[in-house]
Amino acid sequence: MDIIEARNVWKNYKIPHEKRNTLFESLYGLMDSKMGYESFTALKDINFTVKKGEWLGVIGHNGSGKSTLLKVIANTIRPSKGKITVNGKITSFLELGIGFQPDLTAKENIKIYGAIMGLSDTEIENRIDGILEFGGLTRFKDTKIKNFSSGMIVRLAFSTAVQIEPEVLLLDEVLAVGDLDFQKKCFEVFDRYREMDKTVVYVSHDLSTVQRFCDKVLLLNHGEQIGIGNPEEMISLYQSIA
């Protein structure tokens, strides 16, 4: 069964030109829309499927469209053309901790996230201690998120997401800012998810981790789909791209 299917997915953006300095330029810009914006294509005709229990790695140089693709899968942005279909409850670990409320504590944010994911009050309460312990944040449970470092936010976001155990998990550079102990915990979760047949889309520059956990890999370059297939082959192709 296909859990995720992308068909002919495009994403275009309109980028405004520099601020106009004269009244004439401003008025003329309003009359001629071509002067005010230029088009940028972040994704170009992307096609793939991910079956239940599969791990799809997404690799490519900076600016290749990896994070944009995850946002389209998560439905935080809509494709300009084409369609993404997701069958299952999805948890997105994008733009680390972006959904947290800065003026609320770690514990309060966990409760909100759990409620959004459909957990009962009792289920949330039973998981709070485990979430905080996993992230090494037990003594910061009553600290407001705005006082957290970026690394602490990453640990809290990942710990919350995996303890709630979604059907589909989107991960964007989750290991990039964690210490070795946190990375070890992440790998243990990854191993457990493999055993549980969880579906994961994993964006990372850590090619060894991609090769270790992913069943197949999607290679992007400047928004284009260069290939999708065996991790070793796609990683070799990626390394050959200047």
Number of other residues whose CB lies within 10 A of the CB of residue 110: 25
State residue 33's pLDDT score: 52
Query: Which residues are CB-neighbours of 188 under 8 A, at least 6 positions away?
Result: none
Q: Which domain holds residue 177?
A: 2-240
Give DSSP secondary structure letters for 73-87.
HTTSS--SEEEEEE-
State residue 97's pLDDT score: 57
Write the CA distances from 2 to 6, 162, 165, integer angstroms.
10, 22, 19
DSSP state letter for 144: B
Which residues in the chain land under pLDDT 70?
Answer: 17-36, 92-99, 175-178, 242
Query: How many distinct structural domains can be found in the chain?
Result: 1
List, for residues 150-186, the tens digit of each pLDDT value: 888 888 888 888 887 778 888 887 766 567 888 888 8
Give yes or no for a contact between 125 and 81, defined as CB atoms under 8 angstroms apart: no
Question: What is the maximal distance between C-alpha atoms in the chain?
Answer: 65
pTM of the model: 0.82
When computed from its CA atoms, the radius of gyration of the chain, rounded to whole angstroms, is: 20
CA distance 148 to 164: 22
Angle at 45 between CA 35 and CA 223, to 5 degrees: 65
State residue 17's pLDDT score: 63
Residue 7: CA count within 13 A, CB half-sphere = 6
Residue 111: CA count within 13 A, CB half-sphere = 10
State residue 56's pLDDT score: 98
State residue 166's pLDDT score: 77
State residue 25's pLDDT score: 58
State residue 98's pLDDT score: 60
CATH of the domain at 61: 3.40.50.300
